[in-house]
Amino acid sequence: MVCLTRRPALAIVAGSFFAVTCLVGLPLTTSTVFAQSFSEVAKPEVPAEVNNYPLDEAFLAKMEAAQAELNTVDMSGGSDDEAGTGDHSPKALAARIEKQPKVMAVLQKHGLTAQDYIFGYFALVSSVSAVEAENEEQLVDELKGINPAHITFGKQNLERIHKLLGE
């Protein structure tokens, strides 16, 4: 698997939206997909549904609780039926999660939908990436499209988000 932690800012966001499967450890795809080059599935912009996702304290607390529980769930026997589709968009990832009853049970227990989990997760990733890239001159132009509220939220909650992302 590809390690996504401690990469230069925006590498996670611009690199691939299927990266959430590596970050959270959910078996949404097979290891074959993980071997793909990020450049093959790179998205030049943060998708609107991610960039417009509302980040707040309540959401972060739900994500922390859900992620802690997901880390303890036995995911063996999960479905690999869409692993090779090539669609690693946030919507496609959310659809794959919806087909995983164990994951959905945890998310629902914590008041999250599959879309909340995926869109919010990527919003958190982009917020941290933007905060870490603010002082990197070569990335300033790439930050212009990131929601300013996400950058503010990332600054206020950087340590918690890093912990949630496993960094």
pLDDT in tens, 100-132: 999 999 999 999 999 999 999 999 999 998 898
pLDDT tens, residue by residue, 33-74: 333 333 344 445 788 999 999 999 999 999 999 999 999 988
| Domain of residue 113, residue span | 11-165
The count of structural domains within the chain is: 1
Helices (H), 9-147: 11-15, 20-24, 31-34, 48-51, 57-70, 90-98, 101-109, 114-133, 140-143
Residue 4 lies in a domain: no
Decide: 107 and 66 in contact? Cβ < 8 Å: yes
Tokens matching residue 71? 């880390």
- 119 in any annotated domain: yes
In a domain, 152, yes or no: yes
Residue 78 is assigned to a structural domain of this protein: yes
Buried/exposed 25-51: b ≥16 CB within 10 Å, e otherwise: ebbbbeeebeeeebeebeeeebbebbb
- Asked whether residue 58 is domain-assigned, the answer is yes
Inside any domain, residue 140:
yes
The structure's pTM equals: 0.70
Structure tokens at 39: 């450049």
